[in-house]
């Protein structure tokens, strides 16, 4: 993604987010988009959270999360979801502090992805037969 593509997506409300500033200097950002649950309706999916290393452990991430929380309350969204890499121990500890539920541990949910190559194979593979 280029800066221009991201700006275009923000302008067209494909995604939304918050920017943390130190004066005029960007020091952190949180990006999210709206997902949908057939049980509960729309909810934000937090896609990216980044805080510059020298601003970490200064509650910048927490303030960004609080803004997303306020948005969720204001819009009556039922939940906020996101994914985190297993190796990102500091993020996992932070999510424990804010009382987030680890869906892998609690519910056994697993996250999957299919990329361009897989999509191409899915669409073109005549060996796949699905009955509807």
Residue 44 lies in a domain: yes
Residue 20 lies in a domain: yes
Q: What predicted TM-score, i.e. pTM, was given to this entire model?
A: 0.84
60: domain CATH number is 3.40.630.30
Task: Read off the DSSP letter of residue 61.
Answer: H
The one-digit pLDDT tens for each residue of the chain (132 residues) are 788 888 888 888 989 999 999 999 999 999 999 999 999 999 999 999 999 999 999 999 999 999 999 999 999 999 999 999 999 999 999 999 989 999 998 888 888 889 999 888 888 876 666 666
Residue 110 lies in a domain: no
DSSP state string for 89-125: HHHHHHHHHTT---HHHHH--------HHHHHHHHH-
Would you say 34 and 44 are in contact if contact means Cβ atoms under 8 Å apart?
yes
Q: How many structural domains is the chain composed of?
A: 1
CA angle 57–62–68, rounded 5-degree value: 155
Residue 13 lies in a domain: yes
Domain housing 82: 3-102
Residue 108 lies in a domain: no
Q: Please give the positions annotated as active site.
A: 95
């Amino acid at each position: 993604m280029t800066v221009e593509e991201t700006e275009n997506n923000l302008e067209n409300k494909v995604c939304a987010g918050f920017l943390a500033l130190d004066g005029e200097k960007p020091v952190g950002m949180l990006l999210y988009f709206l997902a949908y649950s057939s049980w509960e309706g729309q909810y934000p999916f937090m896609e990216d959270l980044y805080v510059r290393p020298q601003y970490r452990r200064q509650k910048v991430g927490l303030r960004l999360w609080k803004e997303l929380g306020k948005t969720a309350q204001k819009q009556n969204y039922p939940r906020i979801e996101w994914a985190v890499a297993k190796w990102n121990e500091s993020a996992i500890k932070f999510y424990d502090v804010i009382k987030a539920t680890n869906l892998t541990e609690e519910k056994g949910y697993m996250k999957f992805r299919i990329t361009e190559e897989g999509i191409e194979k899915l669409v073109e593979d005549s060996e796949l037969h699905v009955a509807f």
